[in-house]
Amino acid sequence: MKKLRCACCGGEMDYPGSMDAPIRCPFCQTQYAPETAKKMLVELSGPVRIDGTVQVEGIDNANALAHRAEVFLSLGEKKRADDIFESLRSQFPDDYRGWWGETRMMDWQQFFLSEQGDMPECCRRALYFAPPDKQQEISRFHQQQVTAIKPQVDSFLEHRRQELAPLENQLRQLTGQRRQMENQSQQMQDQLQQLIRYSRGEKETWDALGYVLLALIGSLILWYFLSVPIFVLTTWISAGFTAFFLYRIIRISQWRKLEDQRNNLLNQIQQVAHQCNLVNEQISAIRARPMPPVTSV
């Protein structure tokens, strides 16, 4: 029985009978050219004696996963390599190769932009679990990223901070101004509520009517006991009603004037809120502005 064995994952591939077309591994999907597959063809017939450790197909060990990930990485298939490195980290968390793979494949520019430090956690774990000779290689790689990428990222962040500083200061001033206006508007609203209650005939209106009635009763007493001329009494009564209506007119005038002032203030608050939104949009646009890609060493 003729079988082909995958050089990447060790899985067996069925012999198609001819080598005219490329052959693909059903396990890791690696494709082999016909001339390469001919060299891999082995003849398996009769009993086979195996010396040493036997690896059962379908059960991955750390070496197989690491080898497969490195092959995909060398082929430029980073997504598949990253998936295998992730499986290696999940099954063998104490194997440095899984963390070392993530260290090499991660976006160092984005890491430095996040301002989380100089060394990502995957690099720390790779150094922790790696043998001494590999620790030196990992340290050199880390230092290359720091030297090549971090200064440019720091310069970009500093330029962005300088650009954001006046906008953030303006936003703080507008926010304070808006808060002060809102407090002033609330005070005006309280005064308006009080004037509205008075204009609807509550406490002070009844007080004014009481004064008019007292003036009327006093006038009748004067007319009855002191024989004050009637035109004098009517004058006093007219003066009382006139004072009452003048009082109402003054209150309503105050109410309308204060209401107009509050409406003007509300319009100003809306304008300030609009300015705050514009500044916020500018700040968001600056923060969302991507940094040009930096080529690592």
| Long-range contacts of the stretch 214-221 (C-beta < 8 A, 24+) | 215/239, 215/240, 216/240
Average pLDDT over residues 2-14: 70
Which range has highest mean pLDDT (2-11, 118-127, 212-221, 255-264)? Answer: 118-127
pLDDT in tens, 44-101: 334 445 455 444 443 358 888 899 899 998 888 989 999 999 999 998 999 999 999 9
pLDDT at 131: 92
Whole-number percent of the chain with pLDDT over 70: 66
**With 70 as the cut, is the pLDDT of residue 278 above it?**
yes
Are residues 107 and 144 in contact, defined by beta-carbon separation less than 8 angstroms? no
Which of 10-14, 153-157, 263-267, 285-289 is least confident? 10-14
* Residue 292 CB burial class (10 angstroms; 0-12, 13-18, ≥19): exposed
Phi/psi at 12 (nearest 5 deg)?
-90, 140
Compare 47 and 145 and report the one with higher pLDDT: 145
The model's pLDDT over 49-64, given as tens digits with 9 standing for 90+, comes to 545 544 444 335 888 8
Q: Which amino acid is at 222?
A: L
For residues 224 and 105, the model is more confident at: 105
Query: Mean pLDDT for the chain?
Result: 76
Q: List b or e across 187-217, with b for residues whose CB sees 16 or more CB atoms inside 10 angstroms.
A: ebeebbeebeebbeeeebbeebeeebeebee
Q: What is the pLDDT of residue 197?
A: 62
Which residues does 258 contact at the CB level (< 8 Å), separation at least 6? Answer: 188, 191, 192, 195
Residue 157: per-residue pLDDT: 87
The pair of three-digit structure tokens given for residue 29, joined into one six-digit string = 């999907």
What integer pLDDT is reported at residue 44 of this predicted model? 38
Per-residue pLDDT, 56: 42
Q: What is the mean pLDDT of residues 258-281?
A: 82
Give pLDDT, residue 143: 92
Lowest-confidence segment of 162-171, 180-189, 198-207, 244-253 by average pLDDT: 198-207
Range among 147-161, 233-247, 266-280 rated most confident = 147-161
Residue 163 has pLDDT above 90, yes or no: no
pLDDT at residue 102 in the model = 92
